Structure 1
Amino acid sequence: MLNKDLLTKLSAELQTTYDCHTAILYGSRARDDWDAASDIDVMAFRDAGGPERVASQWNGLFLDLFVHATNDEADPSWIRIHAGRVLFQRGAFGDDVLTKVHAQYTAGPEQIPEAEISIRMAWAAKMLRRAAKGDAEGDYRRHWLLFSLLEDYFAARGRWYLGPKQALRTMEDMNAKHCEVFKMALKPEASLAAIEQAIAATFELTEARL
């Protein structure tokens, strides 16, 4: 997490510059598994001014701030603040937001139909073939495929995707073999065969159902 002095400065910044009455720290800084390159991720709320996105350097760190109106309703994207920590709040506003988000998290994401999973499997195979071209477009599709596979791994299993850091840790707990496959596929020098194995791991459960 941030040290007490920085937390005090951050809270003051959010209150004076953005007129926020509540702020929730989330991500690696809230979980306390951050490193020197980690962002400061904050969701904050205010009565007037409407929603605002702020992405900037702040005290030598990168601040990723989402400001919402007080009456904004939680949507699935708010899952990212699951297990967040209230920096300051009006009444119990922040605690109530986290309670609602926890309920969403516990309920799980909307299940993707098997037909859609089949489409994603076919898309992944197509992208792998195009990645084999070896030109700039092929390299782009290679990166696009890898980006999508990690999210699809969790979607295929009816699990929330909470960003790469948490996703890879959760995958290691769920299936260490699959995690090793992904680690190999994500290496800059990875072969297309390694990426093909990541595709197979991503849709392994789905293939068993079809």
Structure 2
Amino acid sequence: MTNSELIDTLAEDLRLTYGCHTAILYGSRARDDWDAASDIDVIAFRDAGDQQRVASRWNGVFLDLFVHSTNDTVEPGWIRINGGRVLFQADGFGDKVLRETKALFDAGPEEVPAAELLVRKVWAEKMLERAAKGDVEGNYRRHWLLCTLLEDYFAARGEWYLGPKRSFRALSETAGEHFGLFEAALKPDASLAAVRAVIDVTFKGV
């Protein structure tokens, strides 16, 4: 089944199985930079029924579906759908959701106070010290720290964090040196000094 056929089949399923009047495809399948391992990301709306999250293997691919009520309003978690594509809609509802989401995205995230950034920096340094233990807990904290640092990197700069794929792409295109630091620190055999370098660049000036 081609990607187009998959999406058409999903649209029909959303109408019949979930009673949705609007659906928006987002993520790699909407941007057309997907590969065989990419999932299908969809947000859909219906007039009746509770919110529903569906995460399952569907027709051979992973489906990540969020079903919302018509009355639900755009909130920061929805920025992931910015730039999405309407699959079907009632009375322009999908276009309206995308317009409101774009306005939220363009306004940027709430500024993280300097005091909060300092707390996050101290936390990162504490985690690095515990990672130095080298035991199972230390190794866990090392991975936890690296995942959090990517989010904090964008938060410290007043930018949205858009997940690892888009975030690393943005870094490679606009801050190649910083991308290189993350790339080095995320290698399985990376030194703690490499992780320290990521902490320093993430909280530069804090």
Q: TM-score, normalised by structure 2?
A: 0.97
The CA deviation string for residues 129-181 of structure 1, in whole angstroms up to 9 with x for no partner, is 00000111101100110010000000000000011000011112221100000
> 1:58 corresponds to which residue?
58
Paired with 1:39 and 1:114, the residues of 2 have a C-alpha distance of 37
After TM superposition, the structure 1 = structure 2 runs for residues 187-202 of structure 1, keeping only pairs within 5 Å, are 187-202=187-202
> 2:166 corresponds to which residue?
166
Which stretch shifts more, 67-76 or 170-179?
170-179
Paired with 2:145 and 2:35, the residues of 1 have a C-alpha distance of 27
**Alignment partner of 2:160: what SS?**
coil
The CA deviation string for residues 32-56 of structure 1, in whole angstroms up to 9 with x for no partner, is 1112211100000000011000000
Aligned partner letter, 1:5 = E
State the 1:3 CA deviation. 2.5
Percent of aligned positions with the same letter in both sequences? Answer: 62
Paired with 1:27 and 1:175, the residues of 2 have a C-alpha distance of 23
Paired with 2:92 and 2:20, the residues of 1 have a C-alpha distance of 14
> 1:149 corresponds to which residue?
149
Paired with 1:91 and 1:126, the residues of 2 have a C-alpha distance of 53
> 1:68 corresponds to which residue?
68
Aligned partner letter, 1:136 = V
Structure 1 residue ranges, 4+ long, deviating more than 6 angstroms after superposition:
none
Paired with 2:108 and 2:33, the residues of 1 have a C-alpha distance of 24
Paired with 1:181 and 1:15, the residues of 2 have a C-alpha distance of 46
> 2:102 corresponds to which residue?
102
> 2:36 corresponds to which residue?
36
State the 1:20 CA deviation. 0.5
> 1:125 corresponds to which residue?
125
Aligned partner letter, 2:11 = S
The CA deviation string for residues 44-75 of structure 1, in whole angstroms up to 9 with x for no partner, is 00000110000000110000000000000111
> 1:79 corresponds to which residue?
79
Which stretch shifts more, 106-115 or 172-181?
172-181
Q: Does 2:134 match 1:134?
A: yes
Aligned partner letter, 1:7 = I
Paired with 1:194 and 1:118, the residues of 2 have a C-alpha distance of 21
Q: TM-score, normalised by structure 1?
A: 0.95
Aligned partner letter, 2:28 = S
RMSD between aligned residues:
0.9
Aligned partner letter, 1:75 = E
The total of aligned residue pairs comes to 205
**Alignment partner of 1:45: what SS?**
strand
Aligned partner letter, 1:183 = E
Identify unmatched segments of 5+ residues in structure 1: none
> 2:4 corresponds to which residue?
4
